[in-house]
Amino acid sequence: MSGKRYSEEFKIEAVKQITERNYPIGQVSKRLGVTTKSLYAWNNDIVMGHYNILK
């Protein structure tokens, strides 16, 4: 585990590629260099309201 930290904006944009642009999660994961587990976690955080996606 690299322990790399990503900005809130990066996480939101990554999740939008999956939820709004309908890219496959595996494709987004490879392109951005993050795990699918991270993408699922970030999506869950957004759904739970942990990030302000209306910025």
What does each C-alpha distance from 55 to 2, 9, 12, 13, 30 come to in angstroms?
A: 28, 9, 10, 12, 26
**pLDDT more than 70, % of the chain:** 91
pTM of the model as a whole: 0.83
Decide which of 22 and 4 is more confident: 22
Q: Is the pLDDT of residue 55 over 60?
A: no
Task: Provide mean pLDDT across the span 20-44.
Answer: 97
Is the pLDDT at 44 greater than 90, yes or no? yes
Task: Calculate mean pLDDT across residues 2-26.
Answer: 93
